[in-house]
Amino acid sequence: MDLRFFEDLGITAGITQVPDDADERRAEFVKEAAWGEYVVAPVQVHGVRVIPVNRSVLEEQGTLVQLPDCDGTVTDIPGVTLTSKHADCVPLFACDPVKGVIGLAHAGWRGTSDGIAAVLALTMIQIYGCEPRNIKVCVGPAIGRCCFEVSEDVVAEFIAKMPWCEDYIDEGKVPGKYMIDLKGINTELLKMFGVSDIRISPVCTVEDMNCYSYRRDGTTKRMLAYIRK
């Protein structure tokens, strides 16, 4: 079963669920790709590099386009499937139907605190000329505020980088532990750049057994987030 986003806009986007394996699904996408179509596979490092996938990036590679040191991609080229792998980290699906631009980012706590949501929005705005008001984002299934328990050092890092994010941090059930709302912080970052058309998935990957969760199971399995126009 796949969760579908942006179907009404004619854009194919979603995230696979248990028992689908991300690597296998990606291989299927590659197999199904017609001539001139591409499947983009970032080598995720919990960083904030968002790569504009233009013709020169594609021409250097085969159908499977591997991009090292990359946690986000944006493109305006039809037939290009952007993908990323997730097990609790936040998937950010973005599209601007006016400019025909799509984007996808992987935001774990490091990427979130370093502002990958802002980099995604800025890439669409500055490189692709998107108007923030035309950008639609779906904050996909991810570990929720209910389950993302962290220790003081993680909280300190968030507060140091973005003091406003206090609103998205609660005290945990155990002293010295805190709960962080990654979906909320990513949403707030997008709003700072004028993106307001944002849908947030209520699914918590730790609680929903249809999702792979690193926090729950320590699994090496991943869900595949994908978007193409």
**Binding interface with Zn ion (CB under 5 A):** 144, 146-147, 204, 206-207
Which residue spans within 17-56 are E strands per DSSP? 38-42, 50-52
Q: Which amino acid is at 136?
A: K
Question: Which H or E element spans position 215?
Answer: helix 214-217
Closest approach of Cβ 180 to Zn ion, in Å? 12
Check: CB of residue 186 under 8 Å from CB of residue 90. Answer: yes
**Closer CB to Zn ion, 89 or 121, in the complex:** 89
Distances (CA, A) of 68 to 43, 71, 222: 5, 9, 18
What tokens appear for 61 in the block?
């590679």
Pick 32 or 171: Cβ nearer Zn ion: 171
Minimum CB separation from Zn ion for residue 216, in Å?
Answer: 9
Q: By C-beta, is 146 or 156 nearer to Zn ion? A: 146
Q: At its nearest, how many Å lie between Zn ion and the CB of residue 25?
A: 24
Measured from the CB atom, the residue of 100 and 172 that comes closer to Zn ion is 172
Q: List, edge to edge, every strand of the sheet that includes 149-151.
A: 149-151, 177-180, 169-171
Least distance to Zn ion from the beta carbon of 223, Å? 16
Q: Are 71 and 48 in contact (CB under 8 A)?
A: yes
| Residue 199 C-beta: closest distance to Zn ion, Å | 18
Cα gap 119→136, rounded to integer Å: 15
Q: Residue 88 or residue 96: which is nearer to Zn ion going by CB?
A: 88
Q: Between 52 and 144, whose beta carbon lies closer to Zn ion?
A: 144
Which residue in the block uniquely carries the two structure tokens 């039809």?
A: 78
- Rounded to a whole number of angstroms, the minimum distance from the CB of residue 215 to Zn ion is 9
Least Å from the CB of residue 35 to Zn ion: 43
Select 166 or 207, whichever has its Cβ closest to Zn ion: 207
Contacts of 208-213 spanning 24+ positions with Cβ under 8 A: 208/141, 209/18, 210/1, 210/17, 210/18, 211/17, 211/18, 211/87, 211/141, 212/18, 212/86, 212/87, 213/87, 213/88, 213/143
